[in-house]
Amino acid sequence: MSYSVVIPTMGRDTLDRAVESALAQNLPPNEILVIAGKEAKPFIEERSASENN
């Protein structure tokens, strides 16, 4: 048995909290897929930039 979590995001800053709640499941997920729509672009790019610095 395995399951995936699909999170469509508009780039809200509550995303991390949502992801953490999925990672904290008693039965943990196989993978979490965050799907960033067009409106989430600035948010995701900001994350990538801070990660690379």
Partner 1 sequence: MPVKKPNLSSKNAPRVRIIDNYSPGSGIATVARNRNLGVKESTSEFVSFLDDDDIWMPNKMKIQIDFLQKNPGSTSISSARYVLNRVAKFKRPRRVLSKNELILMHIMENVDSFLLRITHQRAGTVVTRALAIETPFDEDLPFCEDIWWLHELQSKGSKLYQHSEILFEVAGNPFRAASRDAGKGKEMWASRLRSINPKYESNYLQGIGFRNALLRGKIKEAVSNFR
Residues that bind partner 1 (CB under 8 A): 1-10, 12, 14-39, 41, 44, 47-48, 50-51
Nearest distance, CB of residue 19 and partner 1, angstroms: 6
Helix (H, G, I), strand (E, B) or coil at 16: helix
CB of 37 to partner 1, least distance (A): 5
Asked whether 7 and 33 are in contact (CB, 8 A), the reply is yes
At position 20, the amino acid (one-letter code) is E
Which two tokens mark 19? 């992801």
Q: Cβ of residue 16: shortest distance to partner 1, in angstroms?
A: 6
